[in-house]
């Protein structure tokens, strides 16, 4: 009862735009647009900003029952430079003509540098993004609940595969090239989110714990960006992987463009990694916590990653998650302890990275175990790279059944 009252208060607060309730951080949003890539801002709170144009397109598609037709039409629409497919309503075509392109401020040299960087680091990024960010998403309460109660929550294997598509297409040697895929993948993702914003408010079970009028605000997307990209950069630095200033700039720039393509306004996008870190301190780390939905999702995801897929011992996987995140998150998710594996991971993972990167000549005893793990995780991505026959990103037509 207390929770319900709190939820009602929060929902009302969010609907009225009362500062401090937005984002459920308990603190008012204090980011100045001056400190964004736009250089100025309206002072709006990103947790009160959604994606009006895309949301209206999604609402019309749902109302007219056109989602299956769009999914069929865009199945073969993959390359960045491919013409928009036939078979979609005119308003979808008009919308995509507007958004399916790079912003004027995109810097081709930096994007090309990001392709090189990501090719070099892809296996580490995939580790950080699956067992790190993927599991962290289950302790971001709003994200865990949104994912659980949307259609994809009922089939996490397929949903994870779709998310790998995004990571694979971004961390690719030709992500931004005419025959790369990322611009299209990001646009499909933006429209998936818009459909979810229309669908989830009609789910009684989702609404029962909701604290905002509709999900996936600009602030929520930024929060996820920090749980993926800001977190990945800090991992690379922690693991002593050489990263030049130019490479770090390229990494941030690729994500700035990605955020733009996902519908985040420029007034909220951080211009430097220092600003990104400050934003994450405010909007990500303080809101993490367990939910029933998140605990269930984590269990499913970990089951998918360990034995059946990679032949890995669950103690090893659980301790890797605890190493990448922390023990508090591991405890929230009820991950059983395996102290022998914990010691192995904490000592030998950094040694494995150092040997692989050539900064140490000592090959750790568990080199092949880690190598099998890293290769296995990479295969999960490779198997789900975009192609018409592999797990394409599709618009949902309904929420999670039941």
- Rule CB under 6 A: which residues touch ligand HEM? 142-143, 146-147, 150-152, 159, 162-163, 166, 189, 192-193, 196, 215-216, 220-221, 224-225, 228, 262, 393, 396
CB of 395 to ligand HEM, least distance (A): 8
Tokens (6 digits) for 29: 């949003």
CB of 160 to ligand HEM, least distance (A): 8
d(CA 192, CA 176): 21
CB of 180 to ligand HEM, least distance (A): 16
Q: CA nearest 269: which of 286, 281, 252, 282?
A: 252
CB of 185 to ligand HEM, least distance (A): 7
CA atoms within 13 A on the CB side of 303: 9
From residue 152, give the alpha-carbon distance in Å to each of 56, 117, 157, 192, 396: 22, 31, 9, 11, 8
C-beta of 165 vs 267, nearer to ligand HEM: 165
The helix/strand/coil state of 254 is helix
d(CA 218, CA 194): 12
SS3 of 346-375: the string is: HHHHHHHHHHHCCCCCCCCCCHHHHHHHHH
CB of 217 to ligand HEM, least distance (A): 8
CB of 343 to ligand HEM, least distance (A): 34
C-beta of 120 vs 214, nearer to ligand HEM: 214
C-beta of 206 vs 332, nearer to ligand HEM: 206
C-beta of 66 vs 142, nearer to ligand HEM: 142
C-beta of 11 vs 314, nearer to ligand HEM: 11
CB of 111 to ligand HEM, least distance (A): 17
Spatial contact of 54 and 28, defined as CB atoms under 8 Å apart: no
C-beta of 162 vs 322, nearer to ligand HEM: 162
Q: CA nearest 157: which of 128, 134, 176?
A: 134
CB of 162 to ligand HEM, least distance (A): 3
d(CA 168, CA 65): 31
C-beta of 114 vs 224, nearer to ligand HEM: 224
- State the CB neighbour count (10 A cutoff) for residue 4: 10
The helix/strand/coil state of 168 is helix
C-beta of 226 vs 322, nearer to ligand HEM: 226
Question: What is the DSSP secondary structure assignment for residue 393, as one 8-state letter?
Answer: -
Question: What is the DSSP secondary structure assignment for residue 310, as one 8-state letter?
Answer: I
C-beta of 146 vs 312, nearer to ligand HEM: 146
d(CA 10, CA 20): 10
d(CA 342, CA 137): 22
C-beta of 230 vs 341, nearer to ligand HEM: 230
d(CA 203, CA 197): 11
Compute CA 133 distance to the chain's CA centroid, rounded to the nearest angstrom: 8
The helix/strand/coil state of 399 is strand
d(CA 265, CA 38): 9
CB of 398 to ligand HEM, least distance (A): 9
Q: Which residue is nearest to ligand HEM (CB)?
A: 152
Place of tokens 């009302």: 12
CB of 390 to ligand HEM, least distance (A): 13
- Which value, in Å, is the radius of gyration of the alpha carbons in the chain? 21
C-beta of 344 vs 393, nearer to ligand HEM: 393
CB of 187 to ligand HEM, least distance (A): 11
């Amino acid at each position: 009862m207390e929770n319900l009252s709190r939820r009602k208060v929060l929902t009302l607060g969010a609907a009225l735009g009362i500062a401090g309730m937005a984002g459920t951080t308990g603190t008012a949003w204090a980011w100045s647009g001056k400190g964004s890539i736009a250089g100025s801002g309206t002072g709006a709170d990103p947790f009160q900003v959604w994606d009006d144009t895309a949301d209206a397109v999604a609402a019309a598609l749902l109302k007219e029952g056109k989602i299956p037709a769009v999914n069929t039409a865009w199945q073969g629409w993959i390359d960045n430079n491919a013409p928009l497919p036939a078979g979609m309503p005119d308003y979808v075509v008009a919308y995509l003509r507007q958004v399916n392109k790079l912003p004027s401020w995109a810097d081709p040299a930096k994007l090309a540098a990001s392709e090189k960087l990501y090719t070099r680091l892809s296996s580490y990024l995939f580790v950080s993004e699956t067992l790190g960010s993927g599991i962290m998403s289950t302790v971001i309460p709003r994200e865990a609940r949104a994912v659980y109660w949307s259609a994809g929550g009922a089939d996490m294997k397929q949903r994870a595969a779709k998310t790998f598509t995004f990571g694979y297409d971004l961390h690719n040697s030709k992500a931004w090239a005419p025959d790369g895929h990322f611009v299209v993948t990001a646009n499909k993702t933006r429209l998936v989110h818009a459909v979810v914003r229309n669908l989830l408010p009609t789910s009684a079970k989702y609404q029962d714990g909701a604290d905002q009028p509709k999900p996936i605000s600009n602030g929520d997307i930024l929060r996820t960006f920090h749980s993926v990209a800001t977190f990945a950069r800090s991992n690379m630095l922690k693991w002593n992987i050489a990263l030049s200033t130019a490479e770090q700039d390229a990494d941030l720039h690729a994500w700035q463009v990605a955020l733009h393509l996902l519908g985040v306004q420029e007034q909220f996008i951080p211009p430097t990694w220092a600003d990104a870190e400050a934003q994450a301190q405010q909007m990500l780390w303080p809101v993490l916590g367990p939910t029933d939905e998140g605990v269930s999702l984590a269990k499913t995801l970990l089951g998918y990653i360990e034995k059946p897929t990679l032949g890995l011992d669950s103690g090893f996987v659980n301790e890797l998650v605890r190493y990448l995140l922390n023990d508090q998150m591991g405890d929230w998710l009820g991950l059983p302890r395996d102290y022998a594996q914990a010691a192995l991971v904490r000592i030998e993972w950094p040694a494995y990275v150092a040997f692989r990167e050539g900064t140490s000549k000592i090959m750790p005893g568990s080199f092949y175990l880690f190598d099998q793990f890293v290769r296995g995780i990479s295969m999960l991505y490779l198997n789900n790279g975009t192609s018409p026959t592999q797990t394409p990103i599709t618009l949902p037509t309904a929420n999670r059944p039941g």
